[in-house]
Chain A
Amino acid sequence: MTDLSETFPLELEIEPLSLTDGLIALLNLQAQIDGLEGRHTCAEAATLIDLLILRGLILGRISDYERAAQLADRQVGAATADAAAYMARARTRAVFHRFAEALDDLDSADRMSPHDTAAKRERAAIMQAQGRFDEALSTYYAVIDGVGQFERAAALVGLWAERGEADTAQRFYLDSLRSYRGISPFPVALLDFQLGVMWMRHARLAEARTCFEAAIARVPAYAAAQGHLAEVEADLGNPEAALGRLYPLAVSSDDPDYAAQLARILGQMGRNDESSVWRRGAADRYDELTTAHPEAFADHAAEFWLGPGNDPKKGLRFATLNLEARKTPRARDLLTQALNANTAGATSARCSGAALPN
């Protein structure tokens, strides 16, 4: 198990968790999905949707999210009075940052099943994603008594991390680990990742690296953790290690983020020909994705166009769209960065490479 003692004070040390190996967990996630394919009770469909979202999250497969969204639309059409169908669709809509529509679905689920707290927990998660932190927190606390200690603490890790309150997020993270009684590595790896992202945003790269390494130790195939670790490694002066992580991801994933990272790091290393190949691929894919799912990819597209994509106007457009969907501190920072990059005569420090032809 990855040693977290360097990141966290010793008095907060936790016992190693006994978790299913990441390879087995992934094989069994695949087995769950395969076992539910072609079966269509409402509960099975909702489970399949959740599993597809999880696989999409772990492997960085946008196609899984898209398939989950299709299934959820179909499920609502087939079971218009089933709260679980609306809940499942709300989750897929939230994945694609269609928050208003997701909240509409939760309203429907609430009307059909007013005593079910699951819809309220989903609502809190969406409020959090929208940057409505105070409302999210009060919603969480209104329904949190009915869930287990792990679920309670885990829900609050992300909220406090998004809010930038590192100490509180870390405390809930450790509470989560202490109270975890499951054996699936996925919930814990997702928390490791959330905390790593938080440390990245605080520019505490060593702590971020420890968290991403912990996530990867639990689930080696966790694409986003590998990708973020690569970013940290590059920033810590080890671009070759970063490239080694990113090449397989850029090939296997349909998320352009890894190709964009490759383009950025190769550009910084002066390997411009290689960089431009990955840059072109990422640009094409971001164009596809922002056409199909504009809200979902607005933030990453903005970062790409303000960085290796080198199209500040496009970057500003997507940063603006992103802030319309979610009023988080990060979205505001991104818009500020985009506005700066579009100031007359300014050249963003992150922009690199020649402009791509339109």
Chain B
Amino acid sequence: MSDHFSGPRALTDPAADISDVFAFPAPDNGQHLVMVMDVFGKSGPSAVFSDAVIYRFRIRPVDIAATGLEASFAPSESEMIFDFVFDVPSDTGGAERPVQYGRCLTPNGRTISFRADDENGGVGDGVQVYAGQRSEPFFLDVRMIEKTAATGKLSFKPKGADTLYGTNILAIVVKFDWRKMLEGGPLFAVVCETLAAGKRPVRIERVGRPEIKNVSLSFKMFDQVNEDLEIRDLYNSEDAFDLKPDYFDTYRVRMNANLAFYDGLDGEVDWPFDGHGNHPLTKLLLADFLVVDASMPFAETSYFEIERSMLEGRSHITPGGRWLNEDIMDFVFTLYVNGGNGPPVNDGVDAPIAWSSKAFPYLAPPNPPKGGAA
């Protein structure tokens, strides 16, 4: 749930609010790539997908354009898309969860029908899809992050409180033979979007990397240029593969300011700004897509390893992307605060309520409702 509530507009449409995106080589089949989109964080048992939303996975082959301090990617112009759409539930009377049907349109034009919450999902043309409610795989202590931002001091406790403990999300999972389904590669950039369906679909939200909009961009108080600007809806409206130059400096300045704040939390400067006045991670992070090497074997911890290898001028040794069980908050804070030069930053929350498995549909089954209003 690294991107939950990531902009005022998303708040009004919970089923369109993307909380996380994952991309990883299938642990159970080395030929397959898996992509996951989570929406509707903290959803109760009746949650369903919207019939007015297109849930979209965008995939582009990508090259490494530069390494070292100027590290950057060059996504291809060619793009492959998996679209998911859903019907209005056919039956809500008495059922614990409404019965909802959906369809996946694959990049080669094939339609795969499925019933939501069916763990076997829909299958066709070497593609397996799942959609339904699952246990929230993300874990973090939001209060201590907010306290860190408010006090300017790392405030994590040895034993933190998982803000998302026992909560559920709606997940869409697609697993496919990437060599048959995709063109190019093996390095791919993945972005997920929700779009308002209609004659001219309008992007509601987009997510690539974890914790870009919330941890990295949301705090306004360090931004000396736009200290009053809620930047996230503007950011959501941009094409991840084609950021408009009109607003790029707005994002750049905000990202620079917030990354500098995090870098200073340990009293050391581990990320000196470059000659253009930019934090070395800013350009990479604003290329807000997950980059995964589909040819590499599955790895438990791989997020940002490709980018790290680029910064260090070496070859990557993992598939990159992002696996469901990674402790993203520890990674992000360690990266931002000391760049790996110091001790790992631990946010005090090291596991979700249930780990994801290595078998389709990977995410753990949903948790029972907490209920019981105080």
Contacts and interface: CB of A to CB of B under 8 A. Distances in A.
Contacts of A181: 9, 196, 202
B42 A182 contact: no
B47 interface: yes
A32 B4 CA distance: 13
B98 interface: yes
A114 interface: no
Contact of A183 (B43, B143, B204, B228): B204
A20 B13 CA distance: 9
A30 interface: yes
Interface in B184-238: 196-199, 202, 204, 228
A23 interface: yes
Interface in A144-200: 148, 181-184, 186-187
B53 A38 contact: no
A37 B196 CA distance: 29
Contact of B197 (A18, A36, A67): A18
B78 interface: no
A15 B196 CA distance: 14
A34 B46 contact: yes
A38 B374 contact: yes
Contacts of A30: 44, 46
B50 interface: yes
B317 to A, nearest CB: 39
Interface string A31-74: 11111111111000001000000000000000000010000001
Contact of B12 (A39, A41, A115, A182): A182
Nearest to A40: B374
B45 interface: yes
Interface in B22-49: 40-49
Interface stretch (B300-308, B342-350, B364-372): B364-372
Contact of A20 (B15, B44, B168, B370): B15
B339 interface: no
A2 to B, nearest CB: 16
Contact of B373 (A38, A184, A186): A38
Given A20-B51, A31-B40, A183 B168 contact: no
Given A31-B43, A31-B45, A182 B98 contact: no
Contacts of B228: 115
Contact of A23 (B45, B92, B204, B370): B92
A258 to B, nearest CB: 23
Contact of B47 (A31, A36, A40, A187): A31
A138 interface: no
B52 interface: yes
B142 interface: yes
B88 interface: yes
Contact of B142 (A27, A38, A41): A41
Contacts of A39: 42, 370
Interface residues of B, number: 43
A80 B44 CA distance: 29
B12 A23 contact: no
Given A23-B88, A24-B50, A40-B374, A35 B168 contact: yes
A24 B45 contact: no
Interface in A183-231: 183-184, 186-187
B120 interface: no
A19 B47 CA distance: 16
B363 to A, nearest CB: 17
B46 A27 contact: yes
B154 interface: no
Given A27-B98, A31-B14, A183-B53, A37 B373 contact: yes
A167 B145 CA distance: 49
A21 interface: yes
Contacts of B48: 24, 27-28, 31
A21 B88 contact: yes
B167 interface: yes
Contacts of A21: 50-52, 88
B271 to A, nearest CB: 30
A166 B13 CA distance: 30
B372 A37 contact: yes
Give the one of A15, A38, A182, A183 with max B CB within 10 A: A183
Contacts of A18: 52, 196-198
A182 B9 contact: yes
B51 A27 contact: no
Contacts of B11: 47
Contacts of B373: 37-38, 67
A187 B49 CA distance: 19
A24 B89 contact: yes
A32 B168 CA distance: 11
B88 A28 contact: no
A138 B367 CA distance: 49
B163 interface: yes
A36 B11 CA distance: 14
A306 B197 CA distance: 49
A20 to B, nearest CB: 4
B16 interface: yes
Contact of B14 (A32, A38, A115): A32
A24 B88 contact: yes
B50 A20 contact: yes
A18 B204 CA distance: 12
B86 to A, nearest CB: 8
A36 to B, nearest CB: 6
Nearest to B229: A146
A28 B52 contact: no
A27 B202 CA distance: 24
Given A30-B46, A31-B48, A34-B371, 7 more contacts: A18-B52, A20-B52, A27-B48, A28-B15, A30-B44, A35-B44, A115-B228
List the 5 closest pairs (A to B, CB-CB), nearest first. Answer: A34-B44, A31-B47, A18-B198, A31-B44, A35-B42
Interface of A: 15, 18-21, 23-24, 27-28, 30-41, 47, 67, 74, 115, 148, 181-184, 186-187
27 contacts: A15-B199, A18-B52, A18-B197, A20-B13, A20-B15, A21-B88, A23-B88, A23-B89, A27-B98, A28-B43, A31-B45, A31-B46, A31-B47, A31-B48, A32-B43, A32-B44, A34-B46, A34-B371, A35-B44, A37-B369, A38-B370, A38-B372, A39-B42, A74-B374, A115-B228, A181-B9, A182-B13
